[in-house]
A = this chain, B = another copy of it.
Amino acid sequence: MKKINFASDNYAGVHPTILQALNAANEGDCAAYGNDRWTLEAIEKFKEHFGSSSEVFFVSTGTAANVLGLSTYLSSYQAVIAAETSHISSDECGAFENYTGSKIIPVKTGTGKLTVDLIASCLTDKGNVHRVQPAVVSLSQPTELGTLYSLTELKEITAYAHQNGLSVHMDGARLCNAAAALNVSLGSVTRECGIDVLSFGGTKNGMLGGEAVVFFDTSRELPFNFIRKQGMQLSSKMRFVSAQFTALLSNDLWLKNALHANALAHLLKEQLEPVQEISLAYPTQTNALFARIDNEIVIKNLLDTYAFYIWDHDGMEVRWMTSFSTTHEQVLDFSQEIKKQIVLFNKSF
- Interfacial residues, chain A to chain B (CB-CB below 8 A): 2, 4-5, 7-8, 10-14, 19, 22-23, 25-33, 59-61, 63-64, 67-68, 71, 75-77, 79, 90-95, 97-99, 101-103, 106, 121, 124, 129-133, 203-204, 208-209, 223, 225-227, 229-237, 240, 307, 313, 323, 325
Chain B residues whose CB sits within 8 angstroms of the CB of A22 once the complex forms? 208
Chain B residues whose CB sits within 8 angstroms of the CB of A93 once the complex forms? 77, 129-132, 226, 229-230
Known contacts A26-B14, A94-B103, A106-B106; decide if A229 and B129 are in contact (CB<8 Å).
Answer: yes
Chain B residues whose CB sits within 8 angstroms of the CB of A2 once the complex forms? 28, 30
Q: Return A169 CB to nearest CB of chain B, in Å.
A: 16
Do the beta carbons of A102 and B97 come within 8 Å of each other?
yes
The residue from B13, B77, B97, B131 contacting A27, defined by CB atoms under 8 A apart: B13
Do the beta carbons of A232 and B313 come within 8 Å of each other?
no
Q: What DSSP secondary structure best describes chain A's contact surface?
A: loop
Do the beta carbons of A10 and B26 come within 8 Å of each other?
no
How far is it, in angstroms, between the C-alpha of A95 and the C-alpha of B232 when the chains are bound? Answer: 7
Q: Return A238 CB to nearest CB of chain B, in Å.
A: 9
The residue from B12, B28, B75 contacting A325, defined by CB atoms under 8 A apart: B28
Q: Return A268 CB to nearest CB of chain B, in Å.
A: 16
Q: Return A285 CB to nearest CB of chain B, in Å.
A: 22
Chain B residues whose CB sits within 8 angstroms of the CB of A33 once the complex forms? 129
The residue from B27, B94, B232, B237 contacting A209, defined by CB atoms under 8 A apart: B237
Chain B residues whose CB sits within 8 angstroms of the CB of A325 once the complex forms? 28-29
Chain B residues whose CB sits within 8 angstroms of the CB of A64 once the complex forms? 232-233
Do the beta carbons of A103 and B92 come within 8 Å of each other?
no
In the complex formed, the residue of B with least CB distance to A312 is B124
Chain B residues whose CB sits within 8 angstroms of the CB of A32 once the complex forms? 7-8, 10-11
Chain B residues whose CB sits within 8 angstroms of the CB of A237 once the complex forms? 10, 13-14, 203, 208-209
Q: Chain B CB within 10 Å — which of A71, A130, A233 has the most?
A: A130
Known contacts A26-B14, A77-B227, A234-B61; decide if A98 and B101 are in contact (CB<8 Å).
Answer: yes
The residue from B11, B29, B68, B130 contacting A29, defined by CB atoms under 8 A apart: B11
In the complex formed, the residue of B with least CB distance to A128 is B93
Question: Could you pull out 27 A-B pairs where Cβ atoms are within 8 angstroms?
Answer: A2-B28, A2-B30, A10-B237, A11-B29, A12-B29, A14-B240, A19-B26, A23-B23, A60-B60, A60-B61, A61-B236, A63-B229, A64-B232, A71-B76, A75-B226, A77-B227, A79-B94, A91-B130, A93-B230, A94-B102, A94-B103, A94-B230, A95-B232, A129-B229, A204-B236, A209-B235, A209-B236
How far is it, in angstroms, between the C-alpha of A179 and the C-alpha of B4 when the chains are bound? Answer: 43
How far is it, in angstroms, between the C-alpha of A129 and the C-alpha of B60 when the chains are bound? Answer: 18
Do the beta carbons of B60 and A94 come within 8 Å of each other?
no
In the complex formed, the residue of B with least CB distance to A61 is B232
How far is it, in angstroms, between the C-alpha of A95 and the C-alpha of B101 when the chains are bound? Answer: 9
Q: Return A62 CB to nearest CB of chain B, in Å.
A: 8
Q: Return A300 CB to nearest CB of chain B, in Å.
A: 18
Do the beta carbons of B230 and A231 come within 8 Å of each other?
no
Chain B residues whose CB sits within 8 angstroms of the CB of A77 once the complex forms? 93-94, 98, 223, 226-227, 229-230
Q: Which 10 A-B pairs have the closest CB atoms?
A: A77-B226, A5-B29, A10-B236, A64-B232, A98-B101, A94-B132, A93-B230, A93-B229, A60-B60, A94-B103
